[in-house]
Amino acid sequence: MGAEVITVSTDTKFVHLAWQRDEKMLKDVKYPMGSDPTGNLSRMFGVYDEETGLALRGTFIISPEGKLLNSEVNYYNMGRNIDELMRKFKANIHLSKHTDEGCPSKWKEEGDKTLKPSAKMVGRVSEAYE
C-alpha cells in the first residue's frame, strides 16, 4: 500500500523475536518491529514515559517528503482504532494528489465527498455537502 508500518517499543530486537515466535496472535505479522531501548525516538515524538521507561501508544504518519501529518497518543489503557488509522492514511494519499481539497470527518475512502475550501463556502458548509 506504499507505506512502511513500523511498530516501536523500548524492548530489544531479541525480545521482539521471542514475542513474535511465542505469541500465536502475531504469527502473520509482516511489518518490521523496531527497537528503541534508549528511548531516543520515543522522546523525539513525545511518547516516552521517564518514570516507567516505556512508550505510550503513539501513532504517527510521515509523508514520503518526511513531513509529520498525523499525531495521536493514547494512555496505556486505551487501544487504537485501526479503521481510523487507515482512514487517515488513505486521506493523506488523496490529499497529496489533490492539494486544493480537504477531507471532512466523514470521508472514508477514495470517491467520498471532499471539500474545496473557498470564500463561497464560508458559512455555507452544509450546502457544500449536498
Partner 1 sequence: MTEVCECLGCNVGAIVPDFKLETYAPAKGDFGEVSLETLKANKKWTILFFYPADFTFV
Sites of contact with partner 1 (CB under 8 A): 2-11, 13-20, 22-23, 26, 29-36, 41-47, 52, 54-71, 73, 76, 79, 85, 89, 92-93
> How many angstroms separate the Cα of 2 from the Cα of each of 42, 82, 89, 112?
24, 17, 10, 21
End-to-end CA distance of the chain: 31
Q: Output the smallest distance, CB 97 to partner 1, in A.
A: 13
Residue 52 · residue 59 · CB < 8 Å: no
Please check whether residue 91 is in contact with residue 63, taking contact to mean a CB–CB distance below 8 angstroms: no
Nearest residue (CB) to partner 1, 28 versus 130: 28
CB of 102: closest distance to partner 1 in angstroms? 15
12: helix, coil or strand?
coil
CB of residue 124 vs partner 1: minimum separation in angstroms?
A: 27
In the complex with partner 1, the residue whose CB is nearer, 13 or 120, is 13
Q: Which is nearer to partner 1, 77 or 126 (CB)?
A: 77
**Cβ closer to partner 1: 46 or 124?**
46
Distance of CA 97 to the CA centre of its chain: 19
Q: How far is the CB of 112 from partner 1 (least distance, A)?
A: 20
Residue 107 burial class via C-beta count within 10 angstroms: exposed 0-12, middle 13-18, buried 19 and up: buried
